[in-house]
Structure 1
Amino acid sequence: MKVIGFKTSLPISNPKSFIEVETEKHLPTNRDLLVRVEAISVNPVDYKIRQGSLKDKVQDIPKIIGWDAVGVVEMVGDNVSLFKKGDKVWYAGDITRSGSNQEYQLVDERIVGFAPTISNEDSAALPLTSLTAYELFIDRMRLSKERDENKSILIVGGAGGVGSIAIQLAKKILGLTVIATASRKESINWCKKMGADYVVNHKNLVENVNNLGFETVDIIVDFVDLNQYWEAFAKLIKPQGQIGSISDPTQPINLRLLKSKSVSFYWELMFTRSMFQTKDMIAQHHILNKVADWFNKGMLQSTVGRVLTGFTVSNLREAHEQLESRTTIGKIVIKF
C-alpha cells in the first residue's frame, strides 16, 4: 500500500518534506479496524508535528501523520464489536499512532463513528474539528440549550476549521448568540454562512465587541492564540463566565486576572482520550455518531473550503503550505 510521510522535519518548500513509499498492510488485532481510506483532511496539528517532531534527526521509517479520515472497514480485530467489514466510517484518530496519510489505516474502534451520508469530501473535513468543538462545549464547559440558550459567546478564529464547526454547534445546537472574529471579506462572509450573528475584527477586540452593544459576554472560546488575547478576554468575560481554549500558549497565562470575576477556564485537546486510554474513550464513538446524525438531518453543514483530488506528495505539500499561510478558510480535503 502507498503511504506518504517524512523521515526528517523539513520546510514545506523542500521537495523531500514529504516522500511516498510502499509498505505492507498491517492486520488488525484486538479492537482495531483496518480502514481503506477514501478521503482525508489536514489540520494545523499536522504541520506543527511535521515541522517539529523530527527536527535535527532522521529516522529510517517514514513518520505518517494525518488526523481526519473517512473510509470503509476492510478487516476487524478479534475483539471488535461495534463495526463489521464494509461499514463506512469516519474518525480523527490517535496522535500516538500512524495517521491517515496512507491507503489503509489501523484505528481503535472506540474512537470511530459511522460516517454521515454526505459526500466523502464533506465528511473528511469534520471529525477532528467536530470532536474538538463538541468536547469543549459539552464535555468540558457543560453547556446545554436548556440552561444556556441565548447566552452570548465570542468565538476567536471563526473562519478556521474548529471555528467553523464551533459557530454551528453554538448557534444551531446550543442556541447561543454568536460573535465570531474574522478580518478579511472572505472570512467574514464565511463566518456569516456558518451562522454567526455578528462578526468583528480581532484587532481592538474589546472595543469592537463593545461597539456591538456587548459590554461583556457569557462565554469566550479561543482557537488562535491565548497569549495574544488573554487581557482582552479578562476584560470582556462576564462575572462567573467561562473561557475555553485549544491553543498552545508560548508564555504563562495569568489566571489571577479571572479571580475577581470567579471565571472558569477550560482546556480542550481532542487526543486526550486516546492518548491516555481513558475509561470513557468510547465517548468519541458516540459523539461522532451523534454529529453524523445532525449532518444527516441537515442541521449542520460541512466546513470544507477546498478539495484536492489525488493522494499525492504534491497535494499534501500544497495543503500544508496553505495551512502554514494561516489564511485558510474552512478545511482542506484530499480525495483519494
Structure 2
Amino acid sequence: MKAVGFKKSLPIEEENSFIEFETEQPRPEPKDILVRIQAVSVNPVDYKIRQSAAKEALDTPKIIGWDAAGIVEDVGAEVTMFQKGDEVWYSGDLTRPGCNAEYQVVDERLVSLKPKNLNWQEAAAMPLTTLTAWECIFDRMHISRDSGEDKNILIIGGAGGVGSIAIQLLKKLTKLEVIATASRKETADWCKEIGADKVVNHYELDKELPEENSIDYILNFADTSGHWENMARLIAPEGAISCVVNTTKKVDLNLLKNKSVSFHWELMFTRPKFQTSSRIRQHEILDETRKLFESGQLKTTLEKHFEGLKAETFKEVHKLQESGESIGKNVIVF
C-alpha cells in the first residue's frame, strides 16, 4: 500500500519532512478491523510527534495520523460490531501506525459507524476532537447531562478543533452558560456562530473577566502554563479544571487548594494506549455523537479540505497547523 511518513524529525519546510513510500498492507488482529482510508484530518498531536519522534533517523518510515473515516475492508476473527463494507470513523491508537496511508488496522472498540449525513471529509474532521471534548466534559469533570442552570464554563481556545465541538456539546447537552476565548474577529465570530454565549479575548482575561471565583468550570485547550494564574483566580470554590496541553514551565498546584478545586488531565489516547477496561467508551461516545450529527444537533467543524495522499499535501497542512492561524479542522481526502 502507499503511505506518507518520515524517517527523521525535520522542519516542515525541509524536503524530506514527509516522504511517500510503499509498505506492506497491515493484517487485522482478532479484535481489529482493516479500514480503507477515505479521508484524514490533521491535529496538533500530528505535528508534535513529527517534530519529536525521530531525532535520530529511523530505518523504517513512521506513519502518523489519528483521525480518519473509511470503509471496512476486512475484520479480525473476534470482531462482532462491524462487517466488510461498513462506513466508519475513529481516532485510533497512538501506539500503532497511523492513518496517513491507504489502509489501517484499528481495534473495533475505538470505532463506530460514521454519521450518514456527513461526507468523508466532514466525518474525518471530528473523531479526535469529539472524543477529547466529551471525555473532558463528561468523563473527567463529570458534568451532568441536562444540568448546569445558573452555572458557567470557560473554554480557553474556543475556535480550535476541540473547542469548536466542546461549545456545541455543552450547548446541546447541558444548561451551562458557555464563555469562549478568541483573539481575532474571525475566531470570535466562529465561536458565536457555533453557539458560544459570550466570547472574550484570552490575552486580556484580567480585563474581560475581572471577578475572582466567577467560573464554575474551565476547559483549557490552548496554553496551560500561560493561563494557570488566571484559571486559579477565576475558578469558583469546588470548581473543576480540565487541560489537554502539556505545561511548559512549573505551575503552582497549591493555588487550587484553598478552593478545593479538582484538576484533570485529558488525553484521549490514554484508553487505547493502556488498554483500559473503559476503552469501549470511545465506541460508545462516537456512536452517541453519530446520532447527534444525524439529527442535526451537531455540525462538523471542517474548515478546509485538501486533496491527495501526497507528501506535499501533508507538508501544506502541517505548515498551516503549526502557524496557529487555523480555525476548525483541516482534512485531506485521498
TM range (shorter): over 0.9
1:273 corresponds in structure 2 to 271
- Greater shift in the superposed pair: 213-222 or 235-244: 213-222
Q: Does 1:312 find its partner at 2:305?
A: no
Give the CA deviation at 1:119.
Answer: 1.1
CA drift of 1:150 comes to: 4.3
User: 1:97 aligns to what SS in structure 2?
Assistant: coil
Query: Is it true that 1:96 corresponds to 2:79 in the alignment?
Result: no
Which residue of the partner structure matches residue 321 of structure 2? 323
Cα pair 1:240 1:261 within 8 Å, conserved: yes
Corresponding residue SS for 1:79: coil
Identity within the alignment, %: 53
Q: 2:19 matched to 1:19?
A: yes
Partner Cα distance (1:266, 1:11) in 2: 32
Query: SS at 2:147's partner residue?
Result: helix
Structure 2, gaps ≥5 residues long:
none
Q: Matches of residues 12-161 of structure 1 in structure 2 within 5 Å?
A: 12-55=12-55, 57-117=56-116, 118-161=118-161
* Mapped partners of 2:225, 2:16: distance in 1: 34
Paired residues of 2:146 and 2:175 also in contact (CA < 8 A): no
Matched-pair contact (CA < 8 Å) for 1:206–1:236: no
Distance in 2 of aligned mates of 1:39 and 1:295: 18
- Residues 256-277 of structure 1: CA deviation (Å, up to 9, x unaligned): 1011111111110000000000
Give the secondary-structure state (helix, strand or coil) at the position aligned to 1:329: coil
Contact 1:18-1:313 at 8 Å conserved across structures? yes
Q: Once the two structures are superposed, what CA deviation does each residue of 1:48-102 show, in whole Å capped at 9, x if it has no partner?
A: 00000101x1112110000100000000011111111011100001000000100
Q: Using a 3 Å threshold, how does the CA distance of structure 1 residues 164 and 214 change in structure 2: closer, same or farther?
A: farther
Deviations 1:89-124 (A, max 9, x none): 000010000001001001110101110111111111
Amino acid at match of 1:266: H
Say yes or no: does 1:192 pair with 2:200: no
Comparing 20-29 and 268-277, the one that deviates more:
20-29
Shift of 1:149: 3.5
**Helix, strand or coil at the partner of 2:277:** coil
Name the CA distance, whole Å, in 1 between partners of 2:147 and 2:174: 9
Residue 333 of structure 1 is matched in structure 2 by: 331
TM-score, with structure 1 as normaliser: 0.97
Structure 2 distance, partners of 1:146, 1:262, is 24
Secondary structure of the residue aligned to 1:261 is: coil
Q: Pick from 287, 296, 304: which aligns with 2:294?
A: 296
Return the alpha-carbon distance in structure 2 between the equivalents of residues 68 and 149 of structure 1. Answer: 34
In the alignment, the residues of structure 1 paired with residue 22 and residue 193 of structure 2 have an alpha-carbon distance, to the nearest angstrom, of: 41
**For residue 329 of structure 1, what is the amino acid of its counterpart?**
I
CA distance in 2, matches of 1:107, 1:187: 34
Q: Using the alignment, how far apart are the partners of 1:171 and 1:267 within structure 2?
A: 23
Q: Which residue of 2 aligns with 1:249?
A: 247
| Structure 1 segment 214-253 matched on structure 2, within 5 A | 216-253=214-251
Mapped partners of 1:206, 1:236: distance in 2: 9
What is the root-mean-square deviation of aligned Cα atoms in Å?
Answer: 1.2
Aligned counterpart in structure 1 of residue 281 of structure 2, from 269, 283, 288: 283
Q: Whole-Å Cα distance in 2 between the matches of residues 298 and 113 of structure 1? A: 18
Query: How far off is 1:24 after superposition?
Result: 2.2
Please give the alpha-carbon distance, in whole angstroms, between the structure 2 residues aligned to 1:335 and 1:268: 28
In structure 1, what is the equivalent of residue 172 of structure 2? 172
CA contact (8 A) 2:213 2:237 kept: no
Three-state SS of the structure 2 residue aligned to 1:147 is coil
Q: AA paired with 1:155?
A: I
**What's the offset of the Cα at 1:254?**
1.2
- Counterpart of 1:301 in structure 2: which amino acid? K
Question: Are the equivalent residues in 2 in contact too, given 1:209–1:215 (CA < 8 A)?
Answer: no
Aligned partner letter, 2:84:
K
